[in-house]
Amino acid sequence: MSLYTKIGDQGSTRFPDGRLGRKSEPVVSALGSLDELNSHIGLCLCEARARGFAEIVDALTPLQGHIITLSATLVQAAGKTAMVKLDDNTIGEMETLIDEITAALGPLRSLIVPGGSELACRLHVARTVCRRAERDLVAVNDHQHLLEPATLPFINRLSDLLFNLARLANHQVGC
């Protein structure tokens, strides 16, 4: 079986359930943004591991699986098949981590301009891609009502977590 199908040559894509869709569909844009977000988180993980930032590695590692679960949920919803869902505890766990980092670093006293360490910059890029994915998911929900109730809170908390992890990364290198 070949990797290429040539279906995309005409602007179409095939979903796992066999349905043919257009690449301009909101769900395809959302899936692309989630894939890009997951790739950026992978880059952040590589940098965090290289720097020995275990706390950041521990925070980022499960996120890739959650994003894959979210993507699978979205694809399955588009085909109206059985659903895989985000764990209901995931949002609470992210909120706890956000609160712990905030407590360790202290409250924000000014706006943060992305910069500082390379890892912090990568985390800020991941955060902005996460915000785009959030907008894409809202568009999907506005037009097709495919999202599980936990989806938008998850993606919103994820961008907050990435922001706080960027703060932590800079703090750990003295920026």
Distance in angstroms (rounded) separating the CA atoms of residues 7 and 130: 28
Percent of all residues in the chain with a pLDDT value above 90, rounded to a whole number? 64
Domain boundaries, the chain: 7-172
DSSP 8-class letter at 10? G
Query: Average of pLDDT values for 71-88?
Result: 70
Distance in angstroms (rounded) separating the CA atoms of residues 31 and 162: 19
Backbone φ and ψ for 19, nearest 5 degrees, come out as: -65, 140
Show the tokens assigned to 150: 């936990």
pLDDT for the residue 74: 86
Beta bridge partners, 12, equal 22
Domain with residues 7-172, CATH architecture = Up-down Bundle (1.20)
Query: Average of pLDDT values for 117-131?
Result: 98
Strand duo 20-22 + 12-14: pairing:
antiparallel
**C-beta of residue 174 within 8 angstroms of C-beta of residue 116:** no
pLDDT digits over 43-58, tens only? 999 999 999 999 999 9
Distance in angstroms (rounded) separating the CA atoms of residues 89 and 62: 13
Among the ranges given (1-15, 36-50, 123-137), the one the predictor scored with the smallest mean pLDDT: 1-15
Rg for the chain, CA atoms, rounded: 17
- Which amino acid is located at 44 in the chain? C
Q: Is residue 83 predicted with pLDDT exceeding 90?
A: no
